[in-house]
Structure formats: C-alpha cells, structure tokens
Structure 1
Amino acid sequence: MPELIEQMYCSQQIVIPPKFPYILKRYCKAAIKTQPYDLLRWSYEYFKALAEHREPPVKLRLEYPVYSTEGGLTRGCLKVLANQLSGMSEVPLPVLKNAWQGFCLDPHELKRVLCLCEVYLREETVPFLHFIAVAGGLLTKTLTHTMILLCETLTKEPDGGSAAIPVNEFLTMYKFLAKMDASKDVKYFNGYKEGETPQIESYVEEEQSEPPVDEENDSLSDDYWQDTRDLQKLTLINDHVARSRGLSVKLNMPIVGKIERSPSIERAGQIERENYLRERKGCFVL
C-alpha cells in the first residue's frame, strides 16, 4: 500500500503537451465539418494523414442539410478528393483507394466509378479528369448540372466567383461524359460491359528452332559442289556413260580382243628352266 500512495498523481504532477489542446480542437472541428459515417475509421485516417504530412480527409465546410448518397460520396468529399489528387494527371489506383477510404466511402462505389472510366481490372492508373467527371456525374441528374458541379469543384477561384477552369479540361470531361449512355443500366463483368468481349492480347510466338544439322557434313558437301574446276558434268543416257575428253584414256581407246593377263613370276621361272633344258638337248623352241 505505501507504494500505491507514492504513485498517486495530483494536478500539479500531470503534464499536458503544449500542442495537445490545439490538436484536439482541430480534430473536433474537422469531425463536425466532415460528419463521417464511421468516426473511428475516419479518425485513424485523419491522424495518419497528419503523421505523413498529407492533407487530411476534411471537408471545407459543413454540408447542411446533410447530403447523403448510396456510396457516401458528397459534393464536399469530391472537392477534397480533387484537391488531394490535383497534382497528378494519371492517378495510381492504390493512391486513389487510400484517398477514397479516408472518407470511409463505399469501396463498391469506387469500383463502379472505375468501371465507368474503363480502367477496372485493365489499367493500374486512371486519368484524373475522367475520375472526377464520372464521380461528379453520380451526384447529378443531367449533363449540364454535372459540368456546373465539375467547374465548381476544380476552380481555383474563391467562393462566389465565376468558377472558371481551363477550356481543355472542360472539353476533355465533356467529351468523355457525352460518350456514355445514361438512359439504361449497364452491367459490368470483371470491368467489361455486358456483351463486350475483352481484348485478348496477341503474343508473338517464338520461332521454332530447326533441328541441328551436322555442320561438318553440310559444309563439306557445300564446299565440294561449289568447287567445280576439276569436275565435269556426266549425262546418263540409257544407263550408259557418255564418253568425254577428260573422262578416261582407256574409255577413248578402241577395244581390240581381250586383254591377257601377264604370267606370274613363278610361271615365268618354270618356262625359263624348260627352255634351258631343251637348249642343252639341241631342240630349242621359241
């Protein structure tokens, strides 16, 4: 018990960080202006953005009466998202997803927007103007009201001004929205419209390698037939070889009788002995 008494704190012992009241005050104002659906989740995203030196998901002012949609997206959220992503012409999908979750918006609504932008399960980035145009189109009923909302969202002028934006940005968003047919509901399967066949990427097939050839024999045959200085062409007629000047000397010689074989050395010696014996007897025979 004495240890517990020594650990007791009084008002003089409690030290409050100097910036804590300021941080808490800003947090309360941000929560009141934003009116998040999930306060705990939004609080996590709010302080995470402050720790990473990013713009927190806080609306510029309170929307009253509270404007609610099926996915949770409102005009105030769209304005803040445009400010957070305005520095990128092509927004990576992970960055967009983090910004979308900062307002605790429905992830299925984000998939719907990406399908309309024709990038869901196709690309890793989405054009900034296309995303803002489609998201703004979900908050209005006509194309005219959509373009007015987009001008108010992307303008850099103060409130109450003319809400002017560059002409090229206006035309890009208008042409993209004008191509869409909003008269009927469209179903999407894996990011593609119903009845639309996905584009199959054509891959270049590798050429099949030819079977190995004996280079030695191949080179020998090629070299042999290329060098024709000592060769002559032979024409076969009726299975007989035509005689030519360079074919053979024997083939050009006339054939007379039969060619007798010369006697062997043993037979020649025997004939010489017989002639010698006859010579001694006096009856030499040529």
Structure 2
Amino acid sequence: MPLPDTMFCAQQIHIPPELPDILKQFTKAAIRTQPADVLQWSAGYFSALSRGDPLPVKDRIEMPVATQKTDTGLTQGLLKVLHKQCSHQQYVDLADLEQKWKNLCLPIEKFRAIVDLDPCEDKMEWMKFLALGCSTLGGSINTAMKHICEILTADPEGGPARVPFETFSCVYRYLSKLEGTVPPAEMESYLATLKETVDKRKNGMIALSDFFITKRKV
C-alpha cells in the first residue's frame, strides 16, 4: 500500500538561518550579472560560493546587455569578473579557465579563438589572456588599453583609472607586437614619453588621461 502523504506543521520545518541571506545575495547577483543561462551560471555561482572562491558576479549591470543572439556576449564587465577569479595566479590552467568561461554563459568558440591568438598548451599567463580578451572587444589597441586600465584599476568607477606603469607598458608591448602595426622603435619612444609623465608624479602610476593626451601628441 502506498504510504500516506506526510503532513508537516510549521514547527516541524527547520529553515537554516543563513538561507534567506544566501538567496537574497544570489538574487542580487543574478540581476547585476544578467546571465544568458541562469542554470549554468547558478551552478558556477554556488560552486564558487561553497569553495570560498571569488563569485562570477558583475559589479553592476552593463547596459545594453550583450546577448549571444547578436554577438559573442563578451563584455568588459565579464572580463573583470574573470580577472577577480584568476588574477591571484600568474598562470591559469586553461581547463579551469574554460570552465569559468562556461559558467559566465559565454560561447566556447570565442574562448578558443582568444587562446588561438597566442597558442599555448595547458597553461596561459593570465595577463596575456586578459589583454587578448580586451583586444577582441573591438576597436584599436587604444580601446583595448582603455579596457585594461578600467579593469585593473583600484580607483572608483569614473575616476582616473590609474594602473602601475610597469603593468601598462608590458601589456602595451605585448599587444603591439601581436598586432604588428607599430614599429618597435616608435612603440618604445611612445612608452618613454609616457614614463616621463609618470616619473614626474613619483607614484609609478599611469592614468587614462596620460595615455590619451600623449597619444594625441605622438
């Protein structure tokens, strides 16, 4: 005989005290991130939460939100999420990075296209992947460097977007060499001009305004 339906009263149901806050934070994160596949993203979210890893969550909603129906879905905000998850290590395991990419509901074809720009086997230097990702967002190397600065900076949104000059120069050299359109001598001359500006400030930081002002002069 089938068992009768079990009856519960309110006193018998135990709700973990932390559950409401977990669900509240999850809902806020989903709204900010606007994942294309909520189930895929949710799996990555709770997996990261259980391990104590950085969560796959945007700082804010990006408008308009890119969708895979119209483009690759990759945005500066999503690259910043990956940076939070990966920047603690110099080299990232490509299999782990690919899973993080999938958890953000991004097409795997785009991931492989980025890796193929500078092929490697099992691991890739994180800053190189980030630079390549920024370069694929469209526009010139100047646009890519703008994305880099805005992702790496500790300044609040809308601020000067300052980053260490050494980091800036390494990324600029890397992208310039891959692009191959700027002669090495011209590239080094440009960076030397930028460094003069940075040295006057004596903090080792370059701001976006330095970058674009100098670009107009050279």
Residue in structure 2 matched with residue 170 of structure 1 by the alignment: 168
Instruction: Report Cα offsets for 1:103-143 as digits up to 9, x if no partner.
Output: 02111111111111222xxx221112211111001113111
Q: Identify, as 1 or 2, the structure richer in helix.
A: 2
**Identical counterparts, % of pairs:** 39
Residue in structure 2 matched with residue 33 of structure 1 by the alignment: 32
Aligned to 2:10, the other structure's residue is in SS state: coil
Change (3 A) 1:162 1:101: same
Which structure is higher in RCO with an 8 Å CA cutoff and minimum separation 6?
2
Q: Which amino acid aligns with 1:141?
A: G
Residue in structure 1 matched with residue 19 of structure 2 by the alignment: 20
Residue in structure 1 matched with residue 100 of structure 2 by the alignment: 99
Residue in structure 2 matched with residue 71 of structure 1 by the alignment: 72
Distance 2:88 2:8 in 1: 50
Size of the aligned set, in residue pairs, is 178
Contact 2:36/2:67 (8 A) holds in 1: no
The alpha-carbon deviation at position 51 of structure 1 amounts to: 0.9
Pair 1:153 & 2:151 matched: yes
Contact 2:59/2:77 (8 A) holds in 1: yes
Pair member with larger Rg: 1
Gaps (5+ residues) in structure 1? 184-286
Q: Which amino acid aligns with 1:4?
A: P
Residue in structure 2 matched with residue 180 of structure 1 by the alignment: 178
Aligned to 1:59, the other structure's residue is in SS state: coil
Distance 2:9 2:43 in 1: 31
Residue in structure 1 matched with residue 89 of structure 2 by the alignment: 88
Distance 2:76 2:179 in 1: 23
Contact 1:59/1:80 (8 A) holds in 2: yes
Distance 2:23 2:171 in 1: 40
Instruction: Report Cα offsets for 1:150-186 as digits up to 9, x if no partner.
Output: 1001112222321111112111111121123499xxx
Contact 1:129/1:172 (8 A) holds in 2: no
The two structures, once aligned, show a CA RMSD in angstroms of 2.0
The alpha-carbon deviation at position 80 of structure 1 amounts to: 1.0
Contact 2:44/2:100 (8 A) holds in 1: no
Distance 2:166 2:122 in 1: 24
Aligned to 1:179, the other structure's residue is in SS state: helix
Change (3 A) 1:182 1:34: farther
Distance 2:47 2:84 in 1: 18
The alpha-carbon deviation at position 33 of structure 1 amounts to: 0.8
Aligned to 1:91, the other structure's residue is in SS state: strand
Residue in structure 2 matched with residue 213 of structure 1 by the alignment: none
Contact 1:86/1:128 (8 A) holds in 2: yes
Distance 1:152 1:18 in 2: 38
The alpha-carbon deviation at position 29 of structure 1 amounts to: 0.7
Distance 1:101 1:65 in 2: 21
Gaps (5+ residues) in structure 2? 182-218
Q: Which amino acid aligns with 2:18?
A: K
Aligned to 1:61, the other structure's residue is in SS state: coil
Q: Which amino acid aligns with 2:44?
A: E
Residue in structure 2 matched with residue 134 of structure 1 by the alignment: 132
Distance 2:148 2:67 in 1: 18
